[in-house]
Amino acid sequence: MEFLYNLFLVLHFIGISGLLGGLLAQIAVKPKQLPKFVLHSAWLAFIVAIVMVGINQMMHSNDSTVEVLDHVKVAVKSTILIIVLTIGYLNIKKAALSNKVWSLMTLLTTSNIVIAVYW
């Protein structure tokens, strides 16, 4: 079960890096656009995170030494990712992505990473 959890953790990292990398790739682009893979990466990170929470709960029910995830942290990170997805879908069909929207999505994604590492 631990191997499966670690496999999903790698997929989660791939999703988050695709999200942030796709946004950061737009730094020098004028006008900024929102590539579709950015939203696909966000969905990958979100769905895999839900699976990881379930696997963690199953591992904890079988072995009490396995640390249970902080559900407040999971809720905050999920909410931030849902906000990023919402902003993305509201702007996906626009010809250009405004600097404010791009900055907000990048800031939220970066804050999600900071919460994951330091909380």
For the segment 34-90, what is each residue's pLDDT rounded down to a tens digit? Answer: 999 999 999 999 999 999 999 999 988 888 888 888 999 999 999 999 999 999 999
pLDDT on residue 64: 81
7 token code pair: 């496999």
The residues with which 32 forms a beta bridge, in sequence order, are: 97
3-state secondary structure of 32: strand
pLDDT on residue 62: 80
pLDDT on residue 11: 97
Distance, CA of 14 to CA of 107 (rounded, Å): 18
Distance, CA of 63 to CA of 72 (rounded, Å): 22
